[in-house]
Structure 1
C-alpha cells in the first residue's frame, strides 16, 4: 500500500492501477453479466476477494490492523474508480462504512478482530431501519435485553444492504428507555449465522441488494457491544459523515460512467448527415452536465480533505450536501442519458438502463434527498 500514501504521484499510480483492474476484470458487458448472474447481483464476492488480496479494501484503515494506513481521500479514489469501472462491489462500500464505526468506537480487541477481517475480505452490514422507522430512525423498536452476561435481541430490521452476504451485522437496538428517543440505543455486533437470525432478500429493480432481517431470541455476549451502551445514536450520527461521503463518491463514479457513455454515443450516432453531438442543443446539454459533474467532484474531495485534516470534525452539513448534490446529479445524468440515446437507452443492450435504475435508487440510500435538505436547512438555523 505504499503507493497509496506516497503523495500525489503515488495516488495517481493507485488510481491507474484500480482503473486497469476494472477494465481487465469487468470492462465488457459480457464480463459484468457473468459476474452478476445476468445483472441480478450487486456484489461479486470472488472479485471482492481479489481486491482485498491486493490490499485495496483496507487502503484507508490503520496498518496496525492490516490496512494500508492511507487517507479518506484514498478510499474515495478507490470507491469512485470501482464505481466508474462498474465493478459489482456494492458490499465493499457497505463494509468500509461499517468498519468506520469500529475504528472510531470499538475496543482494541474489536479493532484487531473486525478491521483485520475487513482487510482480508470479510463483508459487514449495519441494521438501522425498521418497517415503521425509516427516516425516523430514532423510533426503532428492536430490543436487546441484558440477561446475565448476554444480550437477547428481538426485532425486525428492513432495507438492510448486503445482509445476505455479510458475516456479521451491526444492529442498533433499544436497550433502555431514556429521557428522549435518542438515548438508550446500543449497537451490537451480531454474527449473521447466529441462531435466531433470519435474512430474507427483498426483490428490487436493482437485483439482490437489500433485505429484511429478523431477530428471534438471538443471544449475543455483552462484550460484542460496539462503543457505549445506550450511546449508539451519537456514534451513528458521527459516522453518517462517512456513510454519506462514500455514497456520494460511489455515485460520482457512476455519474462519470453515465456521462462518458452518453458522450461516446452522441459522438458516434449520426442523423441528418452528422453526429448528433454536433447539434447545439445536445452540445450545450453535455456542457451543462459536464459542469455539474465537476461541481460534484469538487464537493466530494473537499469534504474528504477536511476529514483527512481532522477525522473527528463534525461535518453534517457538508456530508449532506455531498450526498444530495451527487446523487441528484447522477439521477439527472441518467435521465438525460436515456433521452440522448433514445430507444437504444431503453434496451438492455446498453448500460444506460442500469445507470438509470441505480441512480434513481441513489437518492434514497443513506437518507433520502428530502432528509438531506432538512439537515442542510436546519444547519442554518431554519
Structure 2
C-alpha cells in the first residue's frame, strides 16, 4: 500500500477481501446476485454489507456511521471493486450521503444517511437533456407555492434511478441571475406524486434512468441547505465525489490487471506463456507502474482531505478522477486485447471490465472537463 495503514485498517482490508472472496468470488455467485450479469447492483449483497456496518464507514457516528476517515472510505471502495462486489450503486449513494451530511437537517440526515447505513441506495439528479457538463445550464424548475415548491422538468442519466429511495435534486429556483446562481437542492423521497422514473438501457445494464417531474410538490422542509445556494454546496462536495469515483476505478483497474496477468501467465502460444513475450511483458510493466502512481495519487489526496476536511482541492481531486478512470479504461482494453477472443466473451470478466470502465471517463465530470479544471488551476 502507498500509505502506512494502522492495524485496524489492515484488518479492515483483510475482512473486505475475505467477504468478497466468500460471497462473490466466483462468476457463478456474481451471476446469481445480478440476474446473470444484467443488473450491476445487488440489493442482497448491499444489505449484507450493511449488516456488517461497513456502509457507514464514510459517515460520522452521530449520523449512524462508523466515523471513518476518507482513507477508510477509499480502502472500502477500492477493495470491493477489486473483489467485483456487484454494488455499483455505492458511488452515487455515498456522494448523496456526503451532501446530506454537510447540508442536511437532522431529520434529513436521519432519513437519508440512516437509510444508506441500512443498505438503501440514493441518487443525485443534475444532468438534463441540454445540461450535462454545463451544470449551470439546467432548466428543471422549482417554483415557490403555498407551503413548498412545485417541480417541473426532466433529469437524465440518473445513476441508481431504477432502485433509489431518495433523489437529491438540483433545480433552478431563480432564473433572474447568473446561470450558477438560483440553484437549489431538494430531497425527493421515492415514490412522490408527479415523479416518474424510467430506466435507460445501456451496455452496462439498467442502472441509469430518466426522471420526469410533472407538478411534483415538495414541502419547504425538502430544501437541502440554502435556497439558491446549490452551486456553492456542489463545489464543496467535489473532493469527496471525485475520490469516491477514483477509488472505485482504482480497484477495478487493479482487478482488470490481476485478471490479465493471471491469463498471460497460463495461456501458451509458440511453446511458452504469452506473458513471456516482450511485447506483452513491457505493456504489463507499464500498467503496473501506472497503477502504483494512481494509487499514490489517490491516497495522497485522501490524506489531504482528512487533514483539512474543509479545504478545496480542485486540481488534486480532478487529477484523481482523471487518472484513475482513464487508467481503468486503458487497462481493461489492454486486457481484452491480450486475451484475444476470450476477452470479448461474456464467459470471462474482462468484457464486463471494459463496459464498466469506459463509461467512468464520462460520468461525474468527463475527462475533458477534468483536464479543463486542471488547466484553469495552472492559470490557463
2-structure distance, mates of 1:257, 1:373: 26
2-structure distance, mates of 1:214, 1:61: 30
- The equivalent residue for 2:216 is 218
Q: 1:240 deviation in Å?
A: 2.0
2-structure distance, mates of 1:60, 1:338: 34
SS at match of 1:38: coil
Q: Which runs of structure 2 are paired with 1:1-382 in the superposition (5 Å)?
A: 8-382=6-380
2-structure distance, mates of 1:126, 1:376: 24
Q: 1:113 deviation in Å?
A: 2.9
- The equivalent residue for 1:3 is none
Would you say the 8 A contact 2:112–2:166 is kept in 1? no
SS at match of 2:149: strand
CA RMSD in angstroms comes to 1.2
Q: 1:66 deviation in Å?
A: 1.3
Q: 1:114 deviation in Å?
A: 2.2
| 1:238-263 CA distance string (max 9 Å, x none) | 11221111111111010000000000
Would you say the 8 A contact 1:26–1:87 is kept in 2? yes
2-structure distance, mates of 1:35, 1:219: 36
TM-score by length of 1: 0.97
2-structure distance, mates of 1:361, 1:192: 26
Q: 1:272 deviation in Å?
A: 1.4
SS at match of 2:161: coil
Would you say the 8 A contact 2:149–2:220 is kept in 1? yes
SS at match of 1:109: helix
| 1:143-179 CA distance string (max 9 Å, x none) | 1111121111111000000011111101101111242
After the TM superposition, list the runs of 4 or more consecutive aligned residues in structure 1 that deviate by more than 6 angstroms. Answer: none
1-structure distance, mates of 2:174, 2:228: 7
Gaps of 5+ in 2: none
1-structure distance, mates of 2:338, 2:260: 7
How many residue pairs get aligned? The number is 377
2-structure distance, mates of 1:63, 1:245: 21
2-structure distance, mates of 1:34, 1:219: 39
Would you say the 8 A contact 1:185–1:229 is kept in 2? yes
2-structure distance, mates of 1:194, 1:257: 39
2-structure distance, mates of 1:193, 1:109: 18
Would you say the 8 A contact 2:326–2:361 is kept in 1? yes
TM-score by length of 2: 0.97
Q: 1:95 deviation in Å?
A: 1.1
2-structure distance, mates of 1:346, 1:227: 47
SS at match of 2:202: coil
Would you say the 8 A contact 1:66–1:115 is kept in 2? yes
Would you say the 8 A contact 1:345–1:352 is kept in 2? yes
Would you say the 8 A contact 1:144–1:173 is kept in 2? yes
1-structure distance, mates of 2:234, 2:64: 24
Would you say the 8 A contact 2:58–2:94 is kept in 1? no
2-structure distance, mates of 1:110, 1:280: 57
Would you say the 8 A contact 1:163–1:210 is kept in 2? yes
Would you say the 8 A contact 1:247–1:365 is kept in 2? no
1-structure distance, mates of 2:59, 2:258: 31
2-structure distance, mates of 1:367, 1:293: 21
